Amino acid sequence: MDSFVFRHIRTSGRGSGSVEVTLPSALRQLVGLQCRITVRDGARTEIVLEPDMAEARTVFQQLWRMMARILLIEDPDEFSEREFCFSLAPEPSRGGQANLCWTDGLELARSAPRLNEAALARTVAGFGTALANRLSIGARHAAGFGAACAMLAAGACPFPNWQEPVDIAASALAGQGAWRPGTPLQATSPADPLFWDLCGPMFVAAADLFADWSEDDAGYAELSAAWRRGRAVEMNRG
């Protein structure tokens, strides 16, 4: 989503050639990135700053390759930006299309040795959403599958509005013995293939679960109704 702010252009001294623009605090993570600057002449002159997102793009390519290799029988396609919507700030998938956040990619590229688990969760959720249609998972359950993968890998639900499918999947997978909380993050980092090897069985079990729900939606509907009743009970206790 586009946003607009107004700032003054300043100079550090006449004839110095140095020009400064104070940017919104939301762009703090872009500090240090090279930018392409374009000046567009016309009735309304525009100055466009295009940051170099090569770091984030490289991380997305690497993590996509490892996650897709786990879930797809055939060799996975290369990471394609056409499969995703992109945002500067974190936001959930929209309009049925998976979303990735540029600042999450930058955070993952720079976070060693301390991993940002929220950034990992949101990125895994985007990948899972994009892969769902290749795994016989219906469009209605694609975002839920992505969110469940995020929980399995990073131990966190990426967005509150996905709490229902995450809780239901966690309960079902724990009952199958397919989920042990925290195992991948305790073992290594997502830059290491071993991390994804540990995620693999859980991701495959989740894909089977959501594919079953896609064939027999009544099964999920019953679980959803039970989840909502339980949520209402908890809220009334408060």
pLDDT in tens, 160-212: 999 999 999 999 999 998 887 766 766 568 888 888 988 999 999 999 999 99
Q: pTM for this one?
A: 0.87
Take residue 77 and report the two structure tokens written for it: 């396609």
Res. 1: pLDDT tops 70: no
| Position 113 confidence tier, pLDDT thresholds 50, 70, 90 | low
Peptide bond into 113 cis (omega under 30): yes
Say yes or no to pLDDT of 235 above 50: no
The chain-wide mean pLDDT, for the chain, equals 86
Pair 213, 141: CB distance under 8 Å: yes
List pLDDT tens digits, range 62-83.
Answer: 999 999 999 997 777 889 999 9
Which residue's entry shows tokens 């939606």? 217
